A and B are shown apart, each in its own frame.
Chain A
Amino acid sequence: MLKDENPVVLQVDQVKKRIGKKWIIHGVSFDVRAGEIFGFLGPNGSGKTTTIRMLVDLIKPTEGQIELCGYNVNRDPEQALQYVGCIVENPEVYTYLTGWENLEHFARMQPGIDHVRIQEVVDIVRLEGRIHDKVKTYSLGMRQRLGIAQALLGRPKLLILDEPTNGLDPKGIKELRAFIRELADQGMAVFVSSHLLSEIQLMCDRVAIINQGRVLAVGEVNELIEEGSNYVVWHLEPAQEGRVVLQAQQGIELVHVADIQLDEAMLAGMDSDVWVTQMDPDRISDVVKVLVGSGIQVHSVQKMNPTLEQLFLRMTEGESIE
């Protein structure tokens, strides 16, 4: 991917926040570039929403800098915020106005947005049929789309979506994913927060993992997966003899199923007498040859990538969530 050469849209540098005497955010840094979908992953209460609020000047950081397209958000919000569209938590719009009136309302707050542009964003989020109805008659999915329409009004360079799939049905989530990808392909940077690892895996190019107000890792989603140790699941018969052969191999380590976090859904379909090893995946065919040579039947061999959940749990090992 050539995205490393794209300009940095959002730069967060050593941001800290103290509320009262308690430090909520202990130092968060990351960059978001044009054209990428950047995931922001962390459990509830990890400081995700506080960080997002600091990105859009709802909360002032105690220390550190946040720059949007080169403008400091807190010192120069009028310049910086024109490049951002955002939905913080739920898409809150005026329920006593129609969708169209809501968009007109937010269009008036920024110069250069006319009715043509409003019609454009209505078409983009496919809300034409109901746009002149009162928002209180909208479903959550429609409010979400109206929120995105509002965020897109000012042709932002960065779109910030806080837990965007909350309350959406599977079809809606799939549509949203495709929609976000489309925006990114057009050169927009999209910042998506989530507490669901699978969602980030499916949606994002890069991810920052946050817990208890600290960023634990920033990197490409795929790289982070590669970095994680790889597990191989063996289904052998007879099982005990197979185990002896596996243990005899160099560089193969048997691990207890109970000690590791594998995707439970993937293990569900397997027999209980499987062995899990930690090894270099390139050696799988060699080992299979040895096993077959020893007269052991190999029913299945499966390479498993660690999920982000595993990564996350490994990074936060020993720290319980307060």
Chain B
Amino acid sequence: MNRILPLVQNETIKMMKKRRFLVVILILLVLIPVFTYAQMKVAQNNREKFKDWRHTLQQQITDNQNSLASDRVPEEWKKFRRIMVQQWQYYLDHDVDPSSPNGVTFVKSFMENSSSLFIPLLVMAIASDIVSSERTTGTIKMLLTRPVRRWRILLSKLLTLTIFVGLIILTTFVLSYLISGSVFGYNGWNQPVFTGFQITGVEVDISGVHPVPQWLYLIMQTGLIWFSSMVVAILAFMISVLVRSTAASIVTMMAAIIAGSILTNMASSWPSAKYLFMVNLQLTTYLAGSPPPIEGMTLPFSLMVLSIWALAALFISFRVFTKQDILN
């Protein structure tokens, strides 16, 4: 361990001096205010339509309670509505407007939306050249002729990558909270969010639905985003070992990720596509209770598929890196 730490230090210094992470922060600093502004416009429109949100919400609750008494409403709907009524009532009791976004709600939806393309892109900006840049510049010859075994060098790069994936997600989180909070306010940590929807076919199983405070929901969501980001990072890492050019390695990964988001929209009739890593990346859908891209996909299934892909990529990376001849 005390031999690997100086190597990680080396890699971290190189990463910072290459200003890659600075670029990531700059991108976030430009994009988050744009989304915050867009969200603010949506909130303004809503406020113009409904004068006082308490009246609107009270009306919604009354309507739903009335329908609960009716025999014609199916039992499942009633259950779901009961939950919604409870949720709205909770919002009313705590004097929190569920439709007016606060900083925390913004973070939640921003992170969820960026988990499929935006965060993977930022991760790739860092992962794609971590090995290939050493080959492009020829510094790999200096690196590999020092008395350090090759697997240690690669491991130090992988550990550094893990640190930076964490930093990217943390930075996205913190910046989106700070920036959106200045517009929407910094509260909302304890606002309840409902989770635990089980979707089987077209039926929604709501037996497991329960409210969690938004801070807990955010932690779970961030954990899932970190997991899928690490899988993207490890795959980009492998491409970086295999391909000499940094540009080629970014394009390869980007193509795979975009193919994933296209497949997600059309692969419902091709069930075996669920074993591809790209359609499994959006783990947050399971948390929010939206239907999965392909029938039969569950959170454990996706975690399993992603883990297998990541382990295979790690195996190939280390195998190739320790065996290959450095000819260029």
Contacts and interface: CB of A to CB of B under 8 A. Distances in A.
Given A77-B147, A95-B137, A109-B10, 17 more contacts: A56-B145, A58-B141, A58-B325, A78-B147, A78-B149, A81-B146, A82-B147, A88-B145, A89-B141, A92-B138, A92-B139, A92-B141, A94-B139, A101-B13, A105-B13, A109-B147, A150-B142
A80 B139 CA distance: 20
A131 B231 CA distance: 40
B141 A106 contact: no
Contacts of A92: 137-139, 141-142
Interface in B14-51: 14, 17-18
Interface residues of A, number: 33
Contacts of B18: 96
A230 interface: no
8 contacts: A60-B325, A80-B147, A89-B141, A92-B141, A94-B17, A95-B137, A108-B9, A109-B146
A1 to B, nearest CB: 30
Contacts of A150: 142
Contacts of B327: 19, 53, 59
B7 interface: yes
A90 interface: yes
Contacts of A79: 147
Nearest to A98: B17
Contacts of A89: 138, 141
Contacts of A105: 10, 13-14
A192 interface: no
B141 A59 contact: no
Nearest to B133: A94
A58 B142 contact: no
B145 A97 contact: no
Interface in A68-95: 77-82, 84, 86, 88-90, 92-95
A58 B144 contact: yes
Contacts of A82: 147
B213 interface: no
Interface size bracket, B side: 20 to 34
Nearest to A55: B145
B6 interface: yes
A59 B148 contact: no
A77 B257 CA distance: 39
B135 to A, nearest CB: 10
A57 interface: yes
B6 A57 contact: no
The 4 closest A-B pairs by CB, nearest first: A92-B138, A108-B6, A81-B147, A82-B147
Nearest to A53: B326
A261 interface: no
Contact of B14 (A19, A77, A97): A97
Contacts of A229: none
A81 B144 CA distance: 10
A108 B10 contact: yes
A164 B146 CA distance: 19
Interface in B312-328: 323, 325-327
Contact of A78 (B139, B142, B148, B326): B148
B94 to A, nearest CB: 52
A101 B137 CA distance: 17
A59 B326 contact: yes
Contacts of B143: 109
Contacts of A109: 6-7, 10, 143, 146-148
Nearest to A147: B142
A282 B294 CA distance: 95
A316 interface: no
B142 A81 contact: no
A110 interface: yes
Interface string B144-184: 11111100000000000000000000000000000000000
A57 B325 contact: no
Contacts of B148: 78, 109-110
A117 B141 CA distance: 22
